[in-house]
A and B are shown apart, each in its own frame.
Chain A
Amino acid sequence: MTLSIKFCGGCNPRIDRGRIADQIRNYFLKYGMSVIFNDLEADIILYLSGCTANCAERYTKCDKMSVVIAGTTVNAIEVYERQLSIVVIEKITELLE
């Protein structure tokens, strides 16, 4: 299984996208998943935008399974920044099951 982390361009991030991406990537690598960046040829897409403008997903047309981080929201639900990685890992795990 392949997870792709699709970044926004980072023009004005409210969250530390790089750190969050590293945490999620490192978690799924341990379980044998392949993790790539900015490529829609994957089984699951994690859209990782630094703010609610959600540019990572906004301009993308793709019908793959996905989870969306837009600032401090996951799938449009507000989450504390320190919990973003944990919530996203749970959501991706649910999609895999």
Chain B
Amino acid sequence: MKTPEQYEESLRQLKLKVYLQGELVENPVDHPVIRPSLNSVKATYELAQQPEYEDLMTATSHLTGKKINRFCNLHRSTEDLVKKVKMQRLLGQKTASCFQRCVGMDAINSVDSVTFEMDQKLGTKYHERFTQFLLKIQEEDLVVDGAMTDPKGDRGIAPSKQSDPDLYLHVVEKREDGIVVRGAKAHQTGAINSHWILVMPTISMGQDDSDYAVSFVTPSDAEGIYYIYGRQSCDTRKLEEGDIDVGNKKFGGHEALMVFDNVFVPWENVFMCGEYEFSGALVERFAGYHRQSYGGCKVGVGDVLIGAAALAAEYNGAQKASHIKDKLIEMVHLNETLYSCGIACSAEGSKTASGNYIIDLMLANVCKQNVTRFPYEITRLAEDIAGGLMVTMPSEKDLRHPEIGKVIEKYFKGVSKVPTEHRMRILRLIENITLGTAAVGYRTESMHGAGSPQAQRIMISRQSNMEQKKSLAKAIACIPTED
């Protein structure tokens, strides 16, 4: 396994083409806007080195028998699925951010079972190629970005019918040695902190769209790939001096638009090319795993937010008020409900034909459907407890001013034994998670990441087993079954 230092150094060796605020970034690793997101991924390496987190952060490779980072692991049991969720909760707690590496883990698990089944039915050789890639990432402890979401253009028409054919990533040329692809993948979490990109189709494709039914891996700095970094609320605070106003100085997340400008992919890296009948399964399984993930990562961030809200109440001297206690209870209740869903869909997982385990799809979609709602209520309650000062207080620069700093300390003190600076710090952390850079991960990503709310409702409807429920009701109501 890599050390965190080796991971950082490995990113410095990449020749990524990244645009941020209209400029080509020479050194993404040390750029102050990007650096916090790197630190979050680096935490996945740091914790894996520590004995007290080893059980969650590492696993045993079923290919080699060696200890590997769990983010490179294929789930071989329900125990693995449960530990995955617990690992994600742990990382959410330690970083209070989107730590990005889970998309790749969910991608490799879904590609594994789908390529196996494709080969069985169609006689293709994709699974063997994928397994070689998996061996590489396990041996070298690499970060994989799972790239699914296309920009999509007009959502009302199919990929091949779009006015611009590049609005969904597609194959533009097939050669003897590989394929050439063109298009883009949007909202790519952690792409700039990744070594490899694993591309998957974003929707179930039909025969007319077979050029869009493509899955492959490519190095993140391959010729023809470039990134346009996504803005986040309060992002330019990272360019300021000091560490209070950002709320979370060390950690963060990022998303980027990843453009594929006629990128060549050798056949050995291609895992689907035109087998459109399997595109739906790949989308469904990746979405399922990723919806499970949110029952871990968002819960961990929620733990931090709840702790921050409790501290804010203490620093205000309001912690004994019954409504404050009840609001904190409600936050914990909602947070643990999300966790319950993550654990439930894991515990009810089952073995696929390839031997790797998949979550219970119904419960994973229930998990994510709840994640589209509960963080919003948890943040609302956190803001309620924090009070308006969270969004009106002066800057750190003002606090450090030789004259007005004393005025700020005087008027923004809560309870006498707590320094004003501590009160400001905890309020800035709440601000960071509820409407700052981390709100990208905790709120809007909770809404749309791994599929928007309607996507889960469609899956819940499909999995609802309604006929069986109707027959249960008929039996109790003594209605003949042939009715």
Pairwise interchain contact A38-B55, C-beta atoms closer than 8 A: yes
A11→B55 CA distance, assembly (Å) = 10
Q: Is the interface of B mostly helix, strand, loop or mixed?
A: helix
Query: In the complex, which residues 1-27 of chain A have their Cβ closer than 8 Å to any Cβ of chain B?
Result: 5-12, 17-18, 21
In this complex, what residue of A is CB-closest to B300? Answer: A11
Known: A11-B87, A11-B90. A17 touches B56 (CB 8 A): no
Q: A9-B83, A12-B303 are in contact. Are A37 and B90 (CB under 8 A)?
A: no
Q: Is A74 an interface residue (CB 8 A)?
A: no
Interface residues on B, range: 10 to 19
* A55 beta carbon closer than 8 Å to chain B: yes
B117 partner residues in chain A, CB cutoff 8 A: none
Q: Which of A10, A55, A59 contacts B52 (CB 8 A)?
A: A10
Tell me the bound Cα distance from A56 to B54 in angstroms: 11
| Closest partner residue, chain B, to A9 (CB atom) | B56
Contact across chains for A7 and B89 when beta carbons are under 8 A apart = no
Q: Which residues of A contact B87 (CB under 8 A)?
A: 9, 11
List which B43-100 residues lie within 8 A (CB) of chain A: 51-57, 79, 83, 86-87, 89-90, 93
**CB pair A55 B55 closer than 8 Å:** yes
How many residues of chain A are within 8 Å of chain B by beta carbon?
A: 16
Q: Which residue on B lies nearest to A5, using beta carbons?
A: B51
- In contact, B51 and A11 (Cβ under 8 angstroms): no
**Docked pose: A55 CA to B56 CA in angstroms:** 10
**Do residues A55 and B86 form an inter-chain contact, with CB atoms below 8 A?**
yes
| Complex-state Cα separation, A12 to B304, whole angstroms | 11
**C-beta contact mask, B89-132 vs A, less than 8 Å → 1, else 0?**
11001000000000000000000000000000000000000000
What's the nearest-Cβ distance from chain B to residue A14, in Å? 13
> Which A residue sits closest to B296, measured CB to CB?
A11
Write the chain A residue with the least CB distance to B77: A59
Question: Is A7 in contact with B86, judged by CB distance below 8 angstroms?
Answer: no
Question: CA separation between A40 and B83, bound complex, in Å?
Answer: 19
Q: Chain A residue with minimal CB distance to B86?
A: A11
Q: State the CA gap A6–B53 with chains docked (Å).
A: 10
Cα separation A6 to B83 with both chains bound (whole Å) = 16
A9 touching B57 in the complex, CB below 8 Å, given contacts A55-B86, A59-B79: yes
Interface residue from A11, A55, A56 paired with B89 (Cβ < 8 Å):
A11
| A17 and chain B: residue at smallest CB distance | B52
Contact flags (1/0) for A46-84 with B, using CB distance below 8 Å?
000000000110010000000000000000000000000
The listed residue with most A CB atoms (<10 A of its CB), out of B52, B57, B300, B303, is B52
- Chain A hits for B90, CB < 8 A: 9-12
Tell me whether A9 and B303 are in contact in the complex, defined as CB-CB below 8 angstroms, given that A55-B86, A59-B79 are known contacts.
Answer: no
Interchain nearest-CB distance for A59 vs B (Å): 5
A7 and B51 contacting across the interface, CB-CB below 8 Å: yes
> Which residues of A are found within 8 Å of B86, using beta-carbon distances?
9, 11-12, 55
Contacts of B54 in A (CB 8 A): 7, 9, 37-38
When chains A and B are docked, how far (Å) is the Cα of A12 from the Cα of B299? 10
Which chain A residues border B89 with CB–CB below 8 Å? 11-12
Q: How far is A37 from B58 in the complex, measured between Cα atoms in Å?
A: 14
| Chain A positions 19 through 46: 1 when the CB is less than 8 Å from some CB of chain B, otherwise 0 | 0010000000000000001100000000
Question: Which of A11, A18, A21, A37 touches B56 (beta carbons < 8 Å)?
Answer: A11
Assembled-state Cα–Cα distance A12/B306 (Å)? 14
B51 touches A38 (CB 8 A): yes
B90 to chain A: closest residue by CB? A11
Are B79 and A21 closer than 8 Å at their CB atoms?
A: no
Q: Which residues of B contact A38 (CB under 8 A)?
A: 51, 54-55
The distance in angstroms between the C-alpha atoms of A18 and B52, with both chains bound, is 7
Q: Which residues of B contact A37 (CB under 8 A)?
A: 51, 54
The CA of A56 and the CA of B55, in the complex, are separated in Å by 8
User: Residues of A at under 8 Å CB distance from B?
Assistant: 5-12, 17-18, 21, 37-38, 55-56, 59
Starting from the known contacts A9-B56, A37-B54, A38-B54, 5 additional A-B residue pairs (CB-CB under 8 Å) come to A8-B56, A9-B55, A11-B300, A12-B303, A55-B86
7 closest Cβ pairs, A-B complex: A9-B56, A11-B86, A37-B51, A9-B55, A11-B90, A11-B89, A7-B52
Q: What are 20 A-B pairs with beta-carbon distances under 8 A?
A: A6-B55, A7-B54, A7-B55, A9-B56, A9-B57, A9-B83, A9-B87, A10-B53, A10-B55, A10-B56, A10-B90, A11-B86, A11-B87, A12-B86, A12-B90, A12-B303, A55-B55, A55-B83, A55-B86, A56-B55
